């Protein structure tokens, strides 16, 4: 176990070190995230100002703003790019350099992604949470936190990270088979945008669309932890069930990932000779 | 140490149409094209050997190396590297091999070079003692301390290649695959690379497979060479033999001002194999056996009869030898 971490932690560390080299990139990224937040604030303000009801689909305006902020926090805490890494590795041929090392490619990507998460925490989540706390002093955000909720939220975030990692990884492996990554990325972005809850709460969907979302893994990586934090699950049993459901998805995705890896690695063509 | 039996690799490519119309056609119905990159090759390499693996671009060298390294799955046939199947036991095999691809790097691009060695030390579980000793050795041979603190992306090609070979040797692999390790390097850097390979081989009995287009690399390092062409090995044997058979050919190119008739055949009375002349307007190209005639004789003869504006003397390149062998369809 000790040597396992010794072997793979350098990948996380390298990722963090490399990020520091691109300070400008980090600053632009943080700015973009905040601009996106401001944009969403005004969109929802316009919607609520023009609505006859103060509560839409169970969300008050403040509830919606809380949702939007939490979505930013959770998606930054689970933001992973394995499919981008795989695509880069295929394009540049670096995939070959990865396969000659005595390391598992998936585990390596996982630890690389962990490094990315630490970067997000330092550069984005911490400033955002500080903002959140300051805002909470002035306005009454619709969250009541209890210890079980916080613990469940932390668990759920870890599961969500793993789920999003596997989703990205599987899409990445599909690039192995198709070589062209652009279409796959567009597809993934569209599906994730709709079914993860990143744009609007899934409860805004018509029933049939919501039912589809329930059968897909995308909401497990974002919507579930957000709803746990917001206290939308009424009993502890509900929370526990949500967590178990996430775990089940990790299992399913793991099996799919193994299957695709076997397919992909046989088809591997190293580009550029 | 390394054994390949009836190894083949076939790539399936989709032929792409030209232009918009062709593209549309391809979109609906792509034509499948099979390409045999490696076609039924077999060889055996013993521990401590340095083997030169040569062939023209696209002959199948890199594909072979990639199958030995566990990157590509053979379409058929078998490879064993130190008792392991490189694809099935990829991770086990990876501990035994070191790889340098001249056109890629295994270094962490944005980090100071020393970080790469730190990471590799953990990946391969190299002890502190070994790490220190080896780094000292690399510095001695490859002089890497002078740039070890610089980010890899700022290194020159020569420095990067030296760093790369050190990286591939850090875990003291039993087998070293070098795919064009000296491509694009200057003379000094090339020499350093060769020294490192030679020393490592002597010190640890490292088995080395080297692909290159540089005849000097081969001459200095290898006793044995394998020549591959269009996926098949057309020569596998000692370098002395191939040098004796082909290395004596020289080529002189003359550019002359006015047209003159020169009859080399008549003057030297040599067979087609020892003297070959081709003419192209005001260019005369003479290929000859340097054991039979000297360069000075040839140039003297031409300069006496024609006004020469330019001369270019070159050794027969490995590619010429390969082409020569291939044109005959067999060796010797």
Average pLDDT over residues A78-92: 88
Give the confidence band of A271 by pLDDT, cuts at 50, 70, 90.
very low
Chain A residue with CA closest to B10: the answer is A269
Model confidence at B154: pLDDT above 90: yes
Q: Does A93 touch chain B (CB under 8 A)?
A: yes
Chain A residue with CA closest to B68: the answer is A100
Residues of B in contact with A96 (CB under 8 A): 66, 69, 71, 101, 104
Write the DSSP assignment of A142-184 as a string of letters. S----HHHHHHHHHHHHHHHHHHHHHHHHHHHHHHHH---HHH
Give the pLDDT score at A117.
Answer: 92
Mutation for A interface: B9, B30, B98, B119, most A CBs within 10 A: B119
Residues of B in contact with A265 (CB under 8 A): 73
Tokens of A92: 């540049």
Give the pLDDT score at A207.
Answer: 92
Give the pLDDT score at A273.
Answer: 40
User: For all residues of chain B together, what is the average pLDDT?
Assistant: 85
Q: Does B110 touch chain A (CB under 8 A)?
A: yes
**Pair B57, B215: CB distance under 8 Å:** no
Q: What is the pLDDT of residues B202-244, one digit of tens each?
A: 988 999 999 987 777 888 888 898 988 888 888 898 877 876 7
For residue A191, being part of any structural domain is answered with yes
CB contact under 8 Å between B70 and A100, yes or no, is: yes
CB contact under 8 Å between A7 and B125, yes or no, is: yes
- CA distance between the termini of chain B: 29
Give the confidence band of B328 by pLDDT, cuts at 50, 70, 90.
low
Tokens of B317: 């390149």
Model confidence at B102: pLDDT above 50: yes
Model confidence at B319: pLDDT above 70: no
Q: Does B138 touch chain A (CB under 8 A)?
A: no
B122 closest CB neighbour out of A7, A21, A99? A7
Average pLDDT over residues B140-160: 91
Average pLDDT over residues A122-145: 78
CB contact under 8 Å between A99 and B105, yes or no, is: no
Q: Does A177 touch chain B (CB under 8 A)?
A: no
Pairwise pLDDT comparison (A107 vs B257), residue with the higher score? A107
The domain ranges of chain B are: 44-244, 248-315
Tokens of A200: 């609007």
Average pLDDT over residues B247-263: 79
Q: What is the pLDDT of residues A183-207, one digit of tens each?
A: 888 888 899 989 999 888 998 999 9
Q: Which of A1-5, A96-100, A207-211, A226-230 has the lowest mean pLDDT?
A: A1-5
Q: Does A180 touch chain B (CB under 8 A)?
A: no
- Which residue in A263, A251, A245, A257 sits closest to A168, CA to CA? A257
Give the pLDDT score at A161.
Answer: 96
C-alpha span between B270 and A146 (Å, rounded): 99
For residue A273, being part of any structural domain is answered with no
Give the pLDDT score at A272.
Answer: 39
B123 closest CB neighbour out of A7, A266, A268? A7
Q: What is the pLDDT of residues A22-62, one digit of tens each?
A: 778 878 888 888 898 899 999 999 999 998 988 888 888 98
Pairwise pLDDT comparison (B284 vs A268), residue with the higher score? B284
CB contact under 8 Å between A273 and B58, yes or no, is: yes
Strands B224-229 and B50-54 come out as parallel
Pairwise pLDDT comparison (B317 vs A214), residue with the higher score? A214
Residues of B in contact with A266 (CB under 8 A): 73
Pairwise pLDDT comparison (B79 vs B16), residue with the higher score? B79
Max avg pLDDT among A3-7, A165-169, A259-263, B73-77: A165-169
CA distance A260 to chain B (A): 16
Using a pLDDT cut of 90, give the percent of chain B over it.
32
CB contact under 8 Å between A103 and B95, yes or no, is: no
Q: Does B72 touch chain A (CB under 8 A)?
A: yes
Q: Which of A150-154, B53-57, B252-256, B268-272 has the lowest mean pLDDT?
A: B268-272
CATH superfamily assigned to domain B44-244: P-loop containing nucleotide triphosphate hydrolases (3.40.50.300)
Q: Does A178 touch chain B (CB under 8 A)?
A: no
Size of interface A-B (CB pairs under 8 A): 78
For residue A85, the enclosing domain spans 2-267
C-alpha span between B293 and B276 (Å, rounded): 12
- The domain tally of chain A equals 1
C-alpha span between B7 and B12 (Å, rounded): 17
CA distance B56 to chain A (A): 13
Q: Which long-range contacts (CB under 8 A, 24 or more apart) does A238-241 make?
A: A239/A148, A239/A149, A239/A152, A240/A152
Average pLDDT over residues B31-51: 89
For residue A272, being part of any structural domain is answered with no
Using a pLDDT cut of 70, give the percent of chain B over it.
90
- The class (CATH top level) of B248-315 is alpha beta
For residue A243, being part of any structural domain is answered with yes
C-alpha span between B4 and B67 (Å, rounded): 10
**Pair B128, B170: CB distance under 8 Å:** no
> What ipTM was predicted for this assembly?
0.80
Chain A residue with CA closest to B69: the answer is A100
C-alpha span between A53 and A124 (Å, rounded): 34
User: For all residues of chain A together, what is the average pLDDT?
Assistant: 87
CB contact under 8 Å between B122 and A10, yes or no, is: yes
Pairwise pLDDT comparison (B250 vs B141), residue with the higher score? B141
Give the pLDDT score at B45.
Answer: 94
Pairwise pLDDT comparison (B260 vs A231), residue with the higher score? A231
């Amino acid at each position: 176990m000790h040597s396992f971490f010794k072997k793979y932690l350098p990948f996380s560390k390298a990722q963090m070190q490399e990020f520091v080299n691109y300070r400008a990139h980090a600053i632009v990224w943080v700015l973009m995230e905040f601009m996106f937040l401001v944009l969403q604030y005004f969109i929802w303000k316009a919607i609520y100002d023009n609505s006859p009801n103060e509560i839409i689909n169970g969300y008050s305006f403040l509830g919606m703003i809380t949702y939007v902020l939490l979505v930013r926090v959770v998606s930054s805490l689970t933001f992973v790019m394995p499919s981008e890494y795989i695509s880069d590795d295929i394009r540049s041929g670096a995939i070959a350099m990865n396969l000659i090392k005595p390391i598992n490619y998936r585990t390596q990507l996982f630890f690389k992604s962990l490094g990315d998460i630490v970067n997000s925490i330092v550069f984005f989540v911490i400033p955002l949470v500080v903002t959140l706390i300051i805002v909470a002093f002035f306005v009454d955000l619709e969250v009541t936190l209890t210890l079980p909720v916080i613990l469940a939220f932390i668990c759920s975030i870890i599961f969500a990270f793993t789920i999003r990692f596997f989703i990205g990884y599987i899409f990445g492996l599909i690039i192995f088979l198709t070589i062209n990554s652009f279409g796959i990325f567009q597809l993934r972005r569209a599906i994730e945008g709709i079914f993860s809850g990143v744009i609007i709460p899934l409860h805004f969907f018509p029933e049939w669309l919501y039912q589809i979302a329930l059968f897909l893994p995308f909401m497990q990586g974002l919507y579930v932890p957000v709803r746990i934090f917001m206290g939308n699950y009424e009993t502890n049993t509900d929370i526990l069930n949500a967590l178990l459901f996430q775990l089940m998805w990790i299992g399913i995705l793991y099996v799919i990932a193994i299957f695709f890896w076997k397919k992909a690695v046989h088809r591997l063509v190293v580009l550029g000779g | 140490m390394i054994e390949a039996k009836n190894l083949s690799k076939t790539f399936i490519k989709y032929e792409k149409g030209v232009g918009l119309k062709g593209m549309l056609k391809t979109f609906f119905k792509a034509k499948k094209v099979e390409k045999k990159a490696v076609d039924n090759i077999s060889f055996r390499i013993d521990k401590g050997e340095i083997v030169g693996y040569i062939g023209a671009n696209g002959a199948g060298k890199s594909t072979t190396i990639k199958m030995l390294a566990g990157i590509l799955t053979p379409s058929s046939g078998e490879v064993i590297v130190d008792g392991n199947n490189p694809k099935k036991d990829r991770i086990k095999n990876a501990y035994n091999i070191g790889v340098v691809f001249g056109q890629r790097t295994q270094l962490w691009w944005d980090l100071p070079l020393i970080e790469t060695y730190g990471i590799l030390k953990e990946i391969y579980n190299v002890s502190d003692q070994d790490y220190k000793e080896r780094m000292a050795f690399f510095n001695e041979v490859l002089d890497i301390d002078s740039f070890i603190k610089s980010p890899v992306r700022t290194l020159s090609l020569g420095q990067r290649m030296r760093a790369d070979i050190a990286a591939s040797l850090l875990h003291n692999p039993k087998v070293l695959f070098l795919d064009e390790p000296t491509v694009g390097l200057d003379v000094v850097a090339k020499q350093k690379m060769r020294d490192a390979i030679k020393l490592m081989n002597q010190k640890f009995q490292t088995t080395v497979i080297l692909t290159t287009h540089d005849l000097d690399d081969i001459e200095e390092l290898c006793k044995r060479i394998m020549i591959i062409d269009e996926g098949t090995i057309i020569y596998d044997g000692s370098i002395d033999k191939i040098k004796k058979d082909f290395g004596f050919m020289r080529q002189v190119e003359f550019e002359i001002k006015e047209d003159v008739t020169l009859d080399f055949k008549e003057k030297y009375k040599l067979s087609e194999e020892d003297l070959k002349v081709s003419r192209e307007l005001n260019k005369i190209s003479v290929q000859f056996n340097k054991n039979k005639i000297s360069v000075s004789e040839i140039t003297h003869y031409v300069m006496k009869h024609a006004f020469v504006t330019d001369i270019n003397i070159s050794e027969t390149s490995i590619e010429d030898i390969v082409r020569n062998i291939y044109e005959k369809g067999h060796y010797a």
